[in-house]
Homo-oligomer: A and B are copies of this chain.
């Protein structure tokens, strides 16, 4: 492995660590809103945190997984769940959906950058690398929603989410095409994806409805 690859790999791992915590927390909150039991909370937190990255690694045939290479993370997630549950129990509150949006937006940007860079590093075509960035960023949440028996929020709430990931991932591909250093590409992708997501949340922007709501709308 070249030194630059090693450095890149290190940057990607660091990026994933912060994103993992942000996503685990979003899983805890989703599970709490569905009143899952303590086991369900831990599983959904873990699935949200590691699901997207693991699916990406599975598709890219990349081993070892993040949580196999760093099994300490399994304990970190378990600890986070216990602390979060005790906190919610003591306060008798479940944080609202709004509280999930900030860590979630950060996780979105970080995983997009990490996943896209990783796929590019493995020589994938640009469109596939972008897809891998989106899968890393979005499919943890998709698995979370599927386990919680909901249509994934990312696909139905008309707020740009996967779209921010898509644009951020292309920003990274563009930066790389312009021969920007890896750290610059990663930074651009995080700033673009997270920034667009936060902007969309602050302005309450919605994707245009392309069909009238159905007669049997929920």
Contacts and interface: CB of A to CB of B under 8 A. Distances in A.
Contact of A162 (B39, B92, B128, B152): B39
Contacts of A193: none
B39 A89 contact: no
B39 A154 contact: yes
Contacts of A85: 210-211
In this complex, the interface size class of chain A, counting residues with CB under 8 Å from chain B, is 35 or more
A124 B34 CA distance: 33
Given A71-B125, A211-B88, A149 B150 contact: yes
Nearest to A160: B39
A147 B158 contact: no
Interface stretch (A6-14, A17-25, A61-69, A180-188): A61-69
Of A34, A147, A156, the most chain B CB neighbours within 10 A belong to A156
Given A36-B156, A37-B209, A74-B128, 14 more contacts: A34-B156, A35-B211, A35-B213, A35-B217, A37-B158, A41-B210, A58-B59, A59-B65, A74-B131, A75-B127, A86-B210, A146-B147, A149-B149, A149-B150
